[in-house]
Structure 1
């Protein structure tokens, strides 16, 4: 069950949204201002935040920026203002959607459901699974069983790219362009060094995948499924 955080200094709005969201099958956490909302986010996982713009201590724009910096969840801003300048501020602060008061609770629920579907697809698309191995682009971690491995950035990006295209052969030039960029001033040996390090790290940890050399061409990742 998804947990929705509602942040509004109007207790009547909190009460109304709590009723409708609970009836729609969501768990609901409530905060009366931005400071209280951050406290809730620090203590528990939330899947989406609904944030009012006009609040004491920390307004909705500032809270949205704070959420964007620390938590990877979608945000819907609520406001009584409909001017384009206010919408611009909202989207610049990082909101995913914008709803002007007064609104129908059903419309908010539709928007929440749409954002959660979109976000879930993005998260799912950022994970690569091979048997007991998960390569997670969201937090740049590799999980093998109960063990978590943190890699240097370029090693992770190289592994994730190869793992996202199993059994596909890539030349060293192609890998340099994908991982280091077309302006990279190094040479093909950079790829070889990173491949060697990845092999050394994982050869004794798992046989879920292997990075193989295709002579005269480049590298591919061979993975075991199931």
Structure 2
């Protein structure tokens, strides 16, 4: 899951990022409406944490734009304005949830889990390829009853590939799914993650292979067993 934090309180934004990255999410962080629009235009996000009071305006004013560039993205408003009318305004303004500051990290994580459990018309809950089953809501892959021990970035690579199983996924699309804007990406970084993932799938007898398409990207498909 890739998350965009739109928050101008530096300490809070950094604390949120630390908590979310410990949960193996890919996290990007911006501090203004203008930067948020640019991030939404150039990235692909599953969830946005949106402050209402930003230096260049009201956070709710960009809800439509966030969803225009990222259809189906979930939005949780984070705000010090906690009166009933404020919460109603936020929810009526398009937010999926509204969390009043200050809040506990555990409550935020619980609300994120609740949003991820909601049925989606965009993706199925689980995708099976070969002997592998990938739970899209939980970001968990398993072979039979055995969960695969994968790093956060290996999970993101696998998720992007299984969503488009049997089709080539371009390198640029994979990099957007796996890396944040602040990550330093060397030319072979993605290939290293794919190589380690390929080895783990082979060791687990997952019955699938990741194939390089020279100069384009990668595809995943079931192998003959």
TM-score interval (norm. to shorter): 0.5 to 0.7
Bigger relative contact order, structure 1 or 2 (CA pairs below 8 A, ≥6 apart): 2
Q: Distance in 1 between matches of 2:123 and 2:67?
A: 19
State the Cα distance separating 1:32 from its structure 2 match.
Answer: 0.4
Superposed counterparts of 1:120-139, under 5 Å? 121-124=120-123
Q: Are positions 1:21 and 2:28 aligned together? A: no
Is residue 48–residue 116 contact of structure 1 (8 Å, CA) maintained in 2?
no
1:96 is aligned to 96
Q: Distance in 2 between matches of 1:19 and 1:38?
A: 23
1:195 is aligned to none
Is residue 41–residue 69 contact of structure 2 (8 Å, CA) maintained in 1?
no
The TM-score normalised by the length of structure 1 is 0.52
State the Cα distance separating 1:70 from its structure 2 match.
Answer: 3.7
Is residue 68–residue 94 contact of structure 1 (8 Å, CA) maintained in 2?
no
State the Cα distance separating 1:43 from its structure 2 match.
Answer: 1.2
Q: Distance in 1 between matches of 2:121 and 2:108?
A: 21
Is residue 3–residue 27 contact of structure 2 (8 Å, CA) maintained in 1?
yes
Is residue 64–residue 95 contact of structure 1 (8 Å, CA) maintained in 2?
yes
Dislocated runs of 4+, deviation >6 Å:
none
Deviation sequence 1:62-114 (CA, Å, 0-9, x none): 12232234422010000101111111211121000000000001111111122
Q: Distance in 2 between matches of 1:38 and 1:23?
A: 26
Distance 1:65 1:58, change over 3 A: farther
Give 5+ residue unaligned stretches, structure 2: 126-163, 168-225
State the Cα distance separating 1:125 from its structure 2 match.
Answer: 5.4
Deviation sequence 1:166-210 (CA, Å, 0-9, x none): xxxxxxxxxxxxxxxxxxxxxxxxxxxxxxxxxxxxxxxxxxxxx
User: What is the number of residues matched between the two proteins?
Assistant: 132
Larger radius of gyration: 1
CA RMSD of aligned residues (A): 2.7
1:202 is aligned to none
Q: Are positions 1:49 and 2:48 aligned together? A: yes
Deviation sequence 1:43-74 (CA, Å, 0-9, x none): 11111000011112132111223223442201
SS of the residue corresponding to residue 123 of structure 2 reads helix
Superposed counterparts of 1:107-146, under 5 Å? 107-118=107-118, 121-124=120-123
Q: Are positions 1:30 and 2:29 aligned together? A: yes
SS of the residue corresponding to residue 57 of structure 2 reads coil
Deviation sequence 1:109-157 (CA, Å, 0-9, x none): 11112212315x332359xxxxxxxxxxxxxxxx9x86xxxxxxxxxxx
Q: Distance in 2 between matches of 1:10 and 1:3?
A: 21
Give 5+ residue unaligned stretches, structure 1: 127-142, 147-226
The TM-score normalised by the length of structure 2 is 0.53
